[in-house]
Amino acid sequence: MTLTDADLKTLYQLLVSVRQLDKAAVAWQRQGIFPTYAPALGQEAAQVGSAYVLDRTRDFAFPTYREIGVARALGVNMAEYLATHKALWHGGLYDPVTSRLAPIQAVVAGSVLHAVGWALGAKLDAADTTDLPVAMTYFGDGASSQGDVHEAMNFAGVMQVPVVFFVQNNCWAISLPTHEQVAGNDIAARAHGYGMPALRIDGNDVTAVIDACSRAVAHARAGRGPVLVEALTYRRGPHSTSDDPGRYRSLEQERADAGDDPIEMLRRALEAGGDIAEAFFTDVQTNAEQEQDEVFGQLAAMTTRPGREMFDYVFQQPTAVLRAQQAHWQSETEYDA
């Protein structure tokens, strides 16, 4: 994918928007608006860049609980996305089909299995197996040790399904550094055992992420099977708002190990590329803050969802047991269906 000056400016706008919303979400949690939140500070380039290459008309992204940058890059309504963190609805209030973003997945590595299943279905349905829809699935270095990931990669390799396994190696599996929980400290090296190519890249460089993911998507789209992309980045804050990173790393260590800031990297590239006014960067920040306020207004207006919805969306055809559970719940809560 060849990036134009307009692309680079759009990417910068996306990175700043994501960081502003991410910082706001942490503040909203501290104010009691969100029960909890998993920050993405430092991982903006990995998320935005990987999603930027997807074809929104046919590809599908499968996130974890930290992919605010993926959602923003795909054009998802961010208030509907953040409704999950407000505990209004598990998985988000946005429409996964039209947005091409699967529901937010809180189960560690759970989205990886879903992506492989979707990709296999897409391959089986395709009239042309050399021009396939592609699934992009997200997980972290900690999740890479889950059995689900290995089962999914093995199945994808055997069945040659069009899926890109995108792992954000942010150096910390909650409180455990990657080298203490990944043998060899190299997740990309595992791909060979499942018969797929792998790319190991600087996840803080959005242009490097786009280059790698473009090649990975092209490989999968052509019917040549799955690809693993390991984006080396850094989690610059806590694992979640209930985590205290000061218990397992110092602030000095965090600053020393974090590497280049993704936003500053792209800004330097824009400035080196030619004549760009300071007003551009000022306007981008102002617009991001305005977007934050708009999202907050939408979130504030959202009310609790009807309780019956926890039964309505379990099965396409509800079972007798589910109906019995709903009836029991209604009788105990005096809820009028």
Identify whether the C-beta of residue 233 lies closer than 8 Å to the C-beta of residue 47: no
Tokens linked to 331: 């009788």
* Cβ–Cβ < 8 Å for 309, 90: no
Helix (H, G, I), strand (E, B) or coil at 332: helix
* 3-state secondary structure (DSSP) of residue 181: coil
Task: Work out whether the CA dihedral 231, 233, 239, 241 comes out positive or negative.
Answer: negative
Range list of H helices, the chain: 5-30, 44-52, 68-73, 78-82, 96-99, 110-125, 147-159, 206-221, 251-257, 262-272, 278-301, 309-312, 320-333
The residues assigned a catalytic role are 235, 239, 248
Q: Find residue 163's DSSP bridge partners.
A: 135
Residues 23, 39: Cα–Cα separation, whole Å: 8
Residues 6+ apart with CB under 8 A from 264: none
The SS3 call for residue 294 is: helix
